[in-house]
Chain A
Amino acid sequence: EAGVTQFPSHSVIEKGQTVTLRCDPISGHDNLYWYRRVMGKEIKFLLHFVKESKQDESGMPNNRFLAERTGGTYSTLKVQPAELEDSGVYFCASSQVGVSSYEQYFGPGTRLTVT
């Protein structure tokens, strides 16, 4: 079974540009999460989808970040316009519903560098 995949693995953009990160969860996982780790800090929650609905977006830092999950399958996270402080590693995770929902499976992350 394929794990959580993320694309691209690395992205280097200039301040003010737009970047879109993609996450493909494990097939059949209705829960999808985005986290990020800014350099030197802990991994922080951004938001949680259940199918195509946003269940919790309390961690989204500001309105430059837009997450979508059309059709309840893959998800995209767009940063527009990117700022220097957005640099970090963006992780996606997925889980099943029910008791197993607490076991999140993570992708390898997208390393975003804003210059």
Chain B
Amino acid sequence: AQKVTQAQTEISVVEKEDVTLDCVYETRDTTYYLFWYKQPPSGELVFLIRRNSFDEQNEISGRYSWNFQKSTSSFNFTITASQVVDSAVYFCALSQWGAQKLVFGQGTRLTINP
């Protein structure tokens, strides 16, 4: 069975601080995909990133970076120099290779205070 755990229910930081959102997953599959989604107050889930299980390179996109470590089954997300607009609920998710249904974590509510 697949499972995604986001242990941090809520995080609150002051603007310009760096913040890391943790994601730990469980799967018996050797090939799979990992995702991060952002849910702003408007409600829709916004796709941020997808990683293949065989590609452990870290990825950076502007102030966002992702650290994928198979050895610890983790796919953590870091926001550098956080901004108020980063305030949202962030979801980590997993899918099997060849299947498209997403298994989500519980989400982390991130609040960036000015």
Contacts and interface: CB of A to CB of B under 8 A. Distances in A.
Contacts, number: 55
Contact of A105 (B47, B104, B105): B47
4 closest cross-chain pairs (CB), A and B? A108-B43, A106-B45, A45-B101, A43-B104
Interface of A: 3-4, 31, 33, 35, 41-45, 48, 56, 58-59, 89, 91, 93, 95, 101-109
B55 interface: no
Interface of B: 4, 33, 37, 42-47, 50, 91, 95, 99-107
Contact of B100 (A41, A43, A48, A109): A48
A56 B33 CA distance: 18
Given A102-B33, A102-B50, A103-B50, A42 B45 contact: no
Contacts of B47: 103-106
Nearest to B40: A108
A40 B50 CA distance: 25
Given A42-B107, A91-B45, 8 more contacts: A89-B43, A102-B33, A102-B50, A102-B95, A104-B102, A105-B47, A106-B45, A108-B44
B4, B37, B102, most chain A CB atoms within 10 A: B102
A42 B105 contact: yes
23 contacts: A31-B100, A33-B100, A41-B106, A42-B104, A42-B105, A42-B106, A43-B102, A43-B104, A43-B107, A44-B104, A45-B103, A48-B100, A58-B101, A59-B101, A102-B50, A102-B100, A103-B50, A104-B102, A106-B37, A106-B46, A106-B47, A108-B42, A109-B43
Given A106-B45, A108-B42, A95 B100 contact: yes
A44 B2 CA distance: 12
A48 B101 contact: yes
